[in-house]
Amino acid sequence: MIPNLYRYAPDLSGSSRRNFVTGEPHAIGMRPVRVIAPRQGLFFARSVQVMDAFTRAVLSPLQYRFQFMHAHASRLTGQEVDALIVITDHTVGPIVLITYQALGGEYSQPLAAIAGEITALSNDTRGVAFRNIRNRPNTYPPVPHLHEIGDTYDWDYIVTAIEMLMAIMSLAENASYDTVLGFIDQQGNLRDADIASLAQALNAHITNYSNPHQVTLAQLDMYSATQVSALIAAQSGMRVADDNTLLTHIATHAADGNIPHDDTAADVGGYTIEEADARLNAIVLALDATLAADAQAMAAHAADTSNPHKVTLEQIDALSTAQIGDVISTAMQPATSQLAACEAQLDAHITDYSNPHQTTLSQISGWDSGSIGTLNSEAGAHIASTANPHQLTARQVGTLTASQITSNISGNLTTPATNSYLTPQANTINGHAGDTNNPHNTTPAMLGGWTYAQWQAALQAAINALSY
Arithmetic mean of pLDDT, 362-368: 71
Asked if pLDDT for residue 81 goes beyond 90, the answer is yes
The predicted-structure confidence for 234-279, as pLDDT tens digits, reads as follows: 888 888 888 888 888 888 877 776 655 566 667 767 777 888 788 8
Residues facing 36 on adjacent strands = 85
Query: Distance from first CA to last CA of the chain, Å, rounded?
Result: 155
Question: How confident is the model at residue 468, as a pLDDT?
Answer: 37
Query: In this structure, is residue 23 part of a structural domain?
Result: yes
Instruction: Please tell me the total count of domains within the chain.
Output: 2
**Spatial separation of the C-alpha atoms in residues 188 and 192, rounded to whole Å:** 6
Query: In this structure, is residue 75 part of a structural domain?
Result: yes
Query: In this structure, is residue 147 part of a structural domain?
Result: no
Residue 271 burial by CB count (10 A; 0-12/13-18/19+): exposed, middle or buried?
Answer: middle
Instruction: Answer whether 38's CB lies under 8 Å from 21's CB.
Output: yes
In order of 169, 178, 328, 337, 342, the CA distances from 165 in angstroms are 6, 12, 22, 14, 9
Q: Which of 240-244, 319-323, 359-363 has the highest mean pLDDT?
A: 240-244
Contacts of 28 (CB under 8 A, 6+ apart): 34, 35, 36, 87, 92, 94, 95, 96
Arithmetic mean of pLDDT, 53-82: 92
> 264 or 289: which carries more pLDDT confidence?
289
Nearest CA-CA partner of 107 in 178, 47, 37: 37
The predicted-structure confidence for 214-236, as pLDDT tens digits, reads as follows: 877 777 667 777 887 887 888 88
Residue 163 CB neighbours (<10 A): 15
Asked if pLDDT for residue 112 goes beyond 60, the answer is no
> 12 or 132: which carries more pLDDT confidence?
12
* Angle at CA of residue 60, ends 13 and 355, nearest 5°: 50
Q: How far is CA 223 from the centre of its chain?
A: 69
- Give the residue from 64, 94, 124 where a domain finishes: 124
Percent of the chain at pLDDT above 70?
Answer: 81
- Give the residue from 124, 157, 191 where a domain finishes: 124
pLDDT band at 1 (very low <50, low <70, confident <90, very high): very low
The predicted-structure confidence for 342-354, as pLDDT tens digits, reads as follows: 889 888 888 888 8
Nearest CA-CA partner of 342 in 93, 161, 205, 200: 161
Residues facing 85 on adjacent strands = 36, 66
Domain extent, residue 246, equals 225-252+270-302
Question: How confident is the model at residue 2, as a pLDDT?
Answer: 46
Query: In this structure, is residue 196 part of a structural domain?
Result: no
- Give the residue from 124, 147, 165 where a domain finishes: 124
Query: For all residues of the chain together, what is the average pLDDT?
Result: 79
Query: In this structure, is residue 99 part of a structural domain?
Result: yes
Arithmetic mean of pLDDT, 375-385: 82
Percent helix, percent strand, percent coil in the chain, to nearest 5? 50, 10, 40
Alpha helices by DSSP H, listed for 268-320, are 273-302
Question: How confident is the model at residue 258, as a pLDDT?
Answer: 67
Query: In this structure, is residue 110 part of a structural domain?
Result: yes
Query: In this structure, is residue 391 part of a structural domain?
Result: no
The predicted-structure confidence for 60-72, as pLDDT tens digits, reads as follows: 999 999 988 899 9
Asked if pLDDT for residue 366 goes beyond 70, the answer is no
Is the four-CA dihedral 178, 183, 185, 189 of positive or negative sign? positive
**Spatial separation of the C-alpha atoms in residues 124 and 132, rounded to whole Å:** 16
Asked if pLDDT for residue 429 goes beyond 80, the answer is no
pLDDT band at 73 (very low <50, low <70, confident <90, very high): very high
Q: Which of 90-99, 296-305, 391-400 has the highest mean pLDDT?
A: 90-99
On whether both 112 and 229 belong to a single domain, the answer is no
Model pTM?
A: 0.28
Question: How confident is the model at residue 126, as a pLDDT?
Answer: 62
Arithmetic mean of pLDDT, 274-300: 86
Question: How confident is the model at residue 392, as a pLDDT?
Answer: 75
The number of residues in the chain equals 468
Strand, helix or coil at 208?
Answer: coil
CATH number for position 56:
2.60.40
Asked if pLDDT for residue 46 goes beyond 90, the answer is yes
Lowest-pLDDT choice from 42-46, 305-309, 328-332? 328-332
Question: How confident is the model at residue 140, as a pLDDT?
Answer: 67
Query: In this structure, is residue 184 part of a structural domain?
Result: no
Lowest-pLDDT choice from 66-80, 186-200, 314-328, 453-467? 453-467
Which strands, in side-by-side order, build the sheet including 49-52?
20-27, 95-101, 49-52
